[in-house]
Structure 1
Amino acid sequence: MRIATLLLASLAAANPANPIWASELPKLSFQHHDWELACDNTRTCRAAGYHAEEGRNRPLSVLLERRAGPSQAFDVKLRLGDADDGIDLPATLAMQVDGRALGTVELKGEESIGSLSASQAQALLRAVAGAGKVSWRAGGLTWSLSGKGASAVLLKMDEFQGRLGTPGAAMRKGGRPEQDVLPPLPAPVVTAASVPAGELAPLGKEEERILLATLRKTAGNEDCGDLEAIATGESKFAYAPLTSTTMLVSARCWRGAYNEGHGYWVANRKPPFAPALVTQSGTDYDKGVIGASHKGRGIGDCWGHDEWVWDGRRFVHTASGTTGMCRGIAAGGGWSLPTLVSRRPAAGAK
């Protein structure tokens, strides 16, 4: 239950070290039956639909991406589950809506992803918004898309992007001017600061005792149960330099069946340490970047990801998202469904 909660909440979306930066940005995550929605802070939305989970349906997923702003069309992609009874995935699929032929979809690349034409995308939208049946066929096999939950997800997307009542709305079309649709927002630019290489030597026993006691008393660390393992010697702190006076302290906070989360704190190198929590769900750190990556279930077909970047003063939450539902689409997940995105200038850029 803990991992599922983390995944649905985009893991560490609440970042005590910089709460205002992330919390004031518009974003949305929503799931209903066989469909889900992720809208990021630029107001781009991505809806993913899947095969019906009940019954013996071949795994597939569609991704409907729509950027913010007036007169934006849907970009619709199709992906078949790559672990489907050990069959070789076809290169071309025949598309049908309510039994009516709608041309073919070519699957390309190592991931075998197909792009729907504008007319195919519109037919799919009309079908799943109502009670239509959408399927693809090849080699005597059929892959069927569930429409259960689609109308609720598309309605949420329209609402988030300010499209309700406009001609371009997916669900509730109307005569409100298309120019009333909310505009796109720029992705925040985060400039990463350089950090010294390597790790810091462990603190002395007395300083480490003070640090541990401080962390135990600091609000927000109540869920870091494995801090107690530091005191017994079962676990250890790790230290990385950030500036000449500050460091990044890390320690395991919790462990599950196939995931674990580490706490990361920005602290002074000497007492008083004044630790500031970044996350309790981190999984790796490298050169000023903290990452968090967790499976939604043991076979690893669904993941949640987060990232924090050191800007010289604090760790900024720069990315958050999942790979979609646990539906057996692909090892590592079927899609990228971000709710938080940012831009980092290239090295040397001004």
Structure 2
Amino acid sequence: MLRPALLALFLTGATAPAFAQPPTETVPLLREIKQWVIGCDNLRNCHALSAPSGVDEEDYSSLTLHLWHQAGPQGYLRLRFDHRGEDVDLSTLLLDGKPLGLELTQDLHIELDDQGGDPEVQSFGGIEDAAARRWLQRLRNGQRLQLPGDEAAHVSLSGLSASLLLMDAVQGRLDNVTALSRPGKGAASEVAPRAPAPVLRKFTAAAPLTAEEQAGLVAAALQAVKPEEGEPEATVGALTAQQAMTVTRYDCAAYNCEFDVSSRERQAPYKETPMDLQPLPLEDAALQGSVGYDEASGTLSYFYKQRGIGDCGGGASWVFDGKRFQLSEFHRMPRCTGVGYGDWPALWTTVPAP
């Protein structure tokens, strides 16, 4: 996942003069190109990662290459390798069967994960902009990176060049000195400025529900669903002095459930009230898989797993401002490649209320 310092850079606003090459893609964007997945958020920050497209075991890779390019004239470029499994030495990496050499691999350093990430993942990255560009220049025309003696530790470079071109198009870098795929003579100051991040409006916590309110709301929520099998379960929490949130889980499959989510009056007969939920971009279906509401922060969230280990699917969270649930973040990963949720492409970025 992005470290706090990198996240702060992403969320810092930037301005620039008029630019010559406007962005040619709308955002948010999520696209699959051969053996790569590319996601760009509402600020035009982009993340590309290697992701085998096959479903057979031989297509699995324990090695993933991530590329982040921040939008804007001074937007930083970062490259990171993640390896799942035993400790490895990336100085031995082969490109199409030949050693990469220390001139590249010496730019890698082990990243210490203090963010509660997967202890089975070893990360190498933090490369400075110039070094990352040297890597990309070398890799663009290659076919495959691999650790010697480990068939599972590989990165297919099929689709990398097209992914870099797409990121440049999203950020208005075509024919610019800052481009990753097609650099030109355009000055960095001509790159499209990064869009300002939406600022979330504050949530003001309401008085907690009384025992009587909780019991009445749970009963009303359970009565509203008709499960095909099993007993439904309902949780409730305060929204405002007059409204409460109910989340009812039912008809669970192996690792996802159906949910009925509604806002209701806190007083009998606990009638449903309109719930204004900011829609997800890309026409994604919200509130599925696993859904929860935290009344302390006014946060409603979901996490949908496409398979049991939770390395692909979607997730988002919303913050209630007293009237509306504002979309706070949104992540999607369309391919199941062993990548944890914290490293799925971010498609919606905001900043907390001041």
1:203 aligns with 2:220: no
* Equivalent in 314, 317, 321 of residue 311 of structure 1: 321
Aligned equivalent of 2:32: 31
The number of equivalent residue pairs is 297
1:235 to 218, 232, 236: 232
Deviation at 1:114, TM superposition (A): 0.5
Q: Percent identity at matched positions? A: 24
* Cα gap change, 1:291 to 1:149, in 2 (>3 Å): same
Cα distance between partner residues in 1 of 2:110 and 2:333: 20
Measure the CA separation in 2 of the matches of 1:204 and 1:41.
37
Q: Measured at CA, do residues 73 and 286 of structure 1 come closer, stay the same or move farther in structure 2, by a change above 3 Å?
A: closer
Write the mapping of 1:166-315 to structure 2, written as runs, cut at 5 A. 166-190=176-200, 191-198=202-209, 200-203=213-216, 208=220, 212=224, 227-229=225-227, 234-235=231-232, 237-252=234-249, 255-269=252-266, 273-276=272-275, 278=277, 279-281=286-288, 283-287=291-295, 288-315=298-325
- 1:342 maps to which residue? 350
Equivalent-residue separation in structure 2 for 1:334 and 1:285 (angstroms):
20
Cα separation, partners in 2 of 1:108 and 1:165, compared to 1, 3 Å = closer
- What secondary structure sits across from 1:228 in the alignment? coil
TM-score, normalised on structure 2? 0.71
Match of 1:103 in 2: 105
Query: 1:292-341: CA deviations, max 9, x gaps?
Result: 11222123333522111111112111111036731135xx4572421112
Q: Is 1:157 the counterpart of 2:167 in the alignment?
A: yes
Distance 2:334 2:138 in 1: 22
The 1:201–1:51 alpha-carbon spacing in structure 2 relative to 1, beyond 3 Å, is: closer
Residue deviations 1:57-79 (CA, integer Å, cap 9, x gap): 74211111111111434210111
Q: Which amino acid aligns with 1:147?
A: L
Question: 1 CA distance for matches of 2:217 and 2:124?
Answer: 58
Unaligned runs of 5+ in 2: 1-25, 113-118, 278-285
Deviations 1:6-52 (A, max 9, x none): xxxxxxxxxxxxxxxxxxx9411111221111111222111111467
Do the aligned partners of residues 144 and 250 (structure 1) sit closer, same or farther apart at CA in structure 2, a change above 3 Å counting?
closer
| Contact 2:232-2:251 within 8 A present in 1 as well | no
Deviations 1:170-216 (A, max 9, x none): 223334443332211222221222133357334389x949x94xxxx
Q: Using the alignment, how far apart are the partners of 1:120 and 1:177 within structure 2?
A: 20
Residue 182 of structure 1 aligns to a residue in which SS? Answer: coil
Give distance in 1, aligned partners of 2:174 and 2:250.
Answer: 44
Q: Distance in 2 between matches of 1:327 and 1:33?
A: 14
Unaligned runs of 5+ in 1: 1-24, 83-87, 213-226
Equivalent of 2:77 in 74, 77, 88 = 74
Say whether residues 1:320 and 2:344 are aligned partners: no
CA 1:318–1:117: 2 relative to 1, 3 Å: closer
Alignment correspondent of 1:219: none
How far apart in 2 are the matches of 1:34 and 1:165? 25
Q: Aligned partners of 1:198, 1:93: CA distance in 2, in Å?
A: 58
Q: CA 1:333/1:317 → structure 2, altered by over 3 Å: closer, same or farther?
A: closer
- Partner of residue 63, structure 1: 66
